[in-house]
Structure 1
Amino acid sequence: MTERPPFVAAVGAALEDLGVAGRVPVACSGGGDSLALLRACVELRDGGADLAPIAAHFDHRQRPGSAADSDHVEELAGLWRCDVTLGTFDGAAGASEATLRIARYDWLRAAAGRAAAAWVLTGHTADDQAETVWLRIIRGTGVAGLAGIPAVGPLPGSTAHGPEVTVVRPMLGVTGAVARGFLADRGVGWRDDPTNAAANYTRNRLRQDVLPQLEALNPRVREAAVRLAAAARDEAESTTGLADAVLGRALLCADERVIELREEPLAALTEPARRAVLRRVWQRAGWPERRMGRAEWVRLAALRPGDGKIQLPHGVSAFYATDELFLRR
């Protein structure tokens, strides 16, 4: 068997570890990173892997000439013998990053449904991971936020647009320069999105202005951020495991309206551990967390039998009845 190039081998190892196989949409903007992922999947397929990549391109229609990106993806998909699926944003120009992201993920979910695919692949790289960590630090975050972009997880967005889909990011361990170098070695061109240089996007300002200044202090600041994300993810996974073990003894009920916990298993916990357990059961019940900051979690964890009812964001009340903690929406 011909030895796989290092980049292809890295992508293949990530997919094989998760058992990703069959028809798989590959989110492909036409840029270097996503085209490198698509090409790696093609080479894995041609090398005998049980993989049928589908080039999935979504045109945000936020700039003149964006249709040429679709044409480029479609042309390469034809040359590489890939199925292709194309979508477009129906909203107006000037949409926010968040609006475009939601639209893109909803479309990807629908595309996966049409392909009967359980997975979607995206071309996020170590550069994206570093930028995400720094953005969260700048905006304010906890340990969970420092974990950055997960390598695998549920596709964001509403299941109203299709079935549950798992998104896999097999390139988080490599830089964009490595991905684009892989394409250049094969004589494959890519499209550069001029909006990636627009100063009105926060991530672009971070990339163009802030990170170069930090690199003047530490040339490996991006690598440091990626290592921090890995360490934070390990810590978060460990905390989640411990919280689940406690919930195995404490949890009586957790649904969309009510959470009920026995106090005895919680009583011996430290305050940070108690907060972790309460946050975990909140997540398991599917309750929104957007307005639950550190101060709110501290207030909830400090509640004890005999204390009065407290009100929390999202219409949640928390109170004790004998030795059981109730949270109600």
Structure 2
Amino acid sequence: MRNVGFRVPFVSIFLIAFFILIFSRIAVAEVEDLLAQINRKPAEERHKLLIENAKKEGTLTFYAGTNFRDTQEIVAGFNKHYPFIKVAFSTPGGPGVLNKVLTEHRAGAYQADVVALTGGYVPELIGKGILAKYKSPMVPFLRKGFVDADGFWPGVYAIAYTMIYNSQRVSPQEAPRRYEELLNPRWKGNMIMDVEAHDLFAGLIDLWGQDKATVFLRKLAVEQKVRFSRQSHTFMTQLVASGEHDLIVDGYMHNAVAFKERGAPIDYVVMSPTILRPPSIIAITSRSPHPHAAALFVDYHLSKEASEIMVSKQGRWAPRKDVKWTVEPEADLHVVSALEWGRKLRQLVELFNKSVGQ
């Protein structure tokens, strides 16, 4: 009897888990199939169908990795075109978005319709079936590297790396033009770098191979005595502007432009190729309660108008090919792949830490 009493709950639990899995897959398929069917319609009919159903839905929930002001500007632009959709949004930051959707997924309480977050988190969400496949008609207008091969999870903005230097301590003639030049004795003890510059490291591995990139990083840490900082990139740029350090190895282009425009004594080097961090992506969730409104919102976020807002008002490197960035590099661009390196993030971090002696 004890054996029977043990097996019944076990079988029950197994069946419950089985049906949860089956129904979960059905629900995911329903959202993806719905979006795919709509996308097969002619453009005018497709847009009309989305609007008709979005009016019935009346709302959508958006979790954003960007700050409140920047998110609000995009939402305001969207509502000029679709005033009948109330957008409930929160801005918990990239890690916060990840935690919110994972918590909802575990609890089976699905609220988010659209998420925008750091690209490196995408593989985990895809692996758990949290993101729906949706190919926006805006995808053909996006820059190379801002969309996955199948076009389902497009990027909405990216951050470019540059070397930022103090223009009073470093002349334009001696400013390094290549990362390899940072191994010159001139820079020993005079550089600062993010202690989590994993994306730059990934980009260098892509371009140089793992052996060369690892040796370079180790020499920066051991021989050149680069200072690794846990402060924000904005704060590190302030340290360079104040003369505490000559140069940031992994500076952010938008910080360099903003500080220079405000008259700070800094300048920067546009590298060739210019390495971009994995773009932050936007996606519809696989259990979206309002998929029609969500599709309209994603389409707008990838529109020319939205990219112009992100570039002119927010200083971001937006995804559209027909919208110029504040600084348009003449050199080639290398965009670090969110899908590739997101899957290998743990190994990347371990190799980075080992190389710098952490």
Q: TM-score, normalised by structure 1?
A: 0.29
Q: TM-score, normalised by structure 2?
A: 0.27
